[in-house]
Structure formats: structure tokens, C-alpha cells
Amino acid sequence: MKIFCISEGSIYRVDTGKPQQLTCGRIRDYLHAVNEMKKRDEWKTTGSGAQFMQVQEKEYETEGEFLRSLSSDGSRLIYGTFIDGVGGLYFKDPETDDETYIFANQTVDPGRVSCRNGKYCFDAGEGGFERHIGWLNTANGGTDQLTEGFTSESCPFISRHDPDTVYYTAMGYAQDSYGRVTEKSPCSVSAYSAKDGSLTDILSDPAFDYIKPSDDAQGNIYCIRRKYEPTRRKTNAGRDILLFPFRIIKALFGFLSMFSMAFGGEPLRTGGRNPAKSRTANERELFVEGNLIKAKHIADSDNSDEGMIPSEWELIRHSTDGTDTVLARGVMDYALLDSGVIIYSDGRFVRRLSGGSSEKICRIDLANFISITE
């Protein structure tokens, strides 16, 4: 068994205990082509003639989150990219480094791929808010969309218990009279039935998000449960108006104090604190899975056993009798194996959960899209 994940925009193998970076051929070839085009066009933008003509250097997209997803069909990795407005999915043999494309030259932003019994299901969007799931034909790159509407469906998982069922994360949007998005709904676990095309709500709660579903051979459903955080928070207009002048003064003083510390080495007020050190050392803000969270800040030491993801992000098992069991806390991503073993990330380590006990496999920050090959 080999374990892979995405961390900081690159693919890593982590089951060896030390992260080993893999190359994405599509991204490598694109960056190489951009460098060659820059060299070829350099003469157009340099020298006195170019300055006189005010010729501007052509801009190329060389930075960004090119790597969008990572999955596995058991023996091969499947990674998704979105570069310069073009999305694509690619098979990658982690042993030989050989790659073949599934589809390319399509303006879709590809997400996770689930494979079972030769069937592939994936999620994708075309910009904006909508994402939908669909069947994927890896032989010719054809797709068959399964869901629709002004919604987001992601993280499909073809059921182990019933291969005709696809579980996925579902989320809707609220709009105002002008058609602008004003809020997102809590995420729920839904199911698509290939037998009759029906959609069923499996797990939902106004207070929680349920994301990244999977199941075992007995039909128990696994997912990450976290507190639902609305985009727009309730405000007290009267209180905000009263505090507005004080907040402006506080912000102005804070800016001047930081300016004084940066260029003078001293705060404006004698005995004043360095504003750069005034933040708590126990947490920091991070965007994880599209959510701004207070992630734990851990000392850079492998001796610490803590993760970075808040404990409110719980990996749960929803049993067939309706009971929920918390299996692990502070979970960012996970992969459930056929044996019942769970490989998961807590934002700082990739861990193995078996028989109720957890052990560290590898230290790697913000590991996502955990994928397994045999």
C-alpha cells in the first residue's frame, strides 16, 4: 500500500515516513513552454527600440493553484489541473512516472474522482459557484452529468455497499432579488441512485456541515462533521455606529505604531507592545476547504503530537441504526480502506487509525486529497 496526498500545490508520497515529491507532467511541460516563449519573445521587449515603442512584456500565468485534485483507481493516480483557463485529468503511474491524459482542452475545473468496478465518477465546475458530479469515461474523456441547478455537488464516492449509489457533498446558495449570491447553505451528504436517477438527502443539520462522505461494506457512512459557519454574520447596526469612531482611531493608532516599530524599532507609547507580537501564539487563520478557520499554531518540532485543524472537525461514522460515533477529531481529509483502516490528515501529520488507536505516518502540513494505491 502506498499513500499519496497534495500539500502546498504538489503531490507527495508519504507512506515512507518522509515526504517524497512527485512531478506533474502537465504542469512541468506548461511551465517549460512558458519559459521557452519568454526567451523567444525577449528581444521584443528589451533594448532601446522596445523602450521607444513602449512595448510591454506579455504576461504568462506562472503561479497559482494549478494542481486541483488527486485520486486513485487502485493502481494509478489521477490528478486534475486547471491552467490558463483549461482543465484536465491525467492518469499517473507513480512507479514509472508515465502519464496519459483522460481529457484536456476543456474549460472545466476538475475535482475528486471515485472509481469502483470500472466506473468513474467525478465533480467539476466551469467557474462561478456551480459544481456538479457526473460519470467519466476514461477511454475517450466523455462525461455524463448527473446533477444540476444552482448548487455545488462535490467529493463523489461510489458506494462499497451498493455500487449503484454515489454519495456526495451537497450545498445550495441563496440569492437576492438581483440574482446575487447572499449565503451558502450547510453542506449535507446526499446520494444519487443509478437505478432510477433519484437524489436522497442522507445527513443534514442546520448547525453542521457534513463533507467528504464514504461508506463501508456494511453500509455505514463516514464523513467529516464540522460546525456550519454562515458567510454573513448577524450585526448590530446601532452598536456598530456608536463604535465606528473608536475603531477608526484604534486602527489609525495601530498603523502608526506598526510604522514606528518597522522603521524606528520602538512603539509610539513607552512600554507599548510590539503589535507584531500581540497576536496569540496558539492559533492562526487559515483557509481550509474554503473555510477561514482558527488553526492551531504548533511549534516546529516533530516531538509535538498535535495537529493544526480545530477539534470541531470530527470524522464520524453514521451507522445503519442511525447512531453517530466520533472516530477522530481535528480531521482535514481521510481515506477509508476496504479493511476498515483509515488514513487521515490533521493538518500537520498523516496518520493511520486502526482498532481505535492512531499512529503517525508522516509529518506534512495541510495534506489533502489523500489517495491510496496498491
Residue 244: band (very low, low, confident or very high) from pLDDT cuts 50, 70, 90: low
> Which tens digit of pLDDT belongs to each residue from 306-364?
888 999 999 999 999 999 999 999 999 999 999 999 999 999 999 999 988 999 999 99
Higher pLDDT, 240 or 140: 140
- What percent of the chain has a predicted confidence (pLDDT) above 90? 64
* pTM to 2 decimal places: 0.81
CATH class of the domain comprising 2-232+308-373: mainly beta
Of the candidates 268, 349, 336, the one whose C-alpha atom is nearest the C-alpha of residue 305 is: 349
Dihedral sign computed on CA atoms, order 258, 264, 268, 272: positive
Distances from the Cα of 251 to the Cα of 245, 256, 275, 284, 364, angstroms: 10, 9, 12, 20, 37
> Which tens digit of pLDDT belongs to each residue from 55-114?
556 666 667 789 999 999 999 999 999 998 899 999 999 999 999 999 987 789 999 999
Position 74: which residue type? Answer: G
Domain boundaries, the chain: 2-232+308-373, 237-296
Distances from the Cα of 133 to the Cα of 41, 211, 257, angstroms: 41, 15, 51
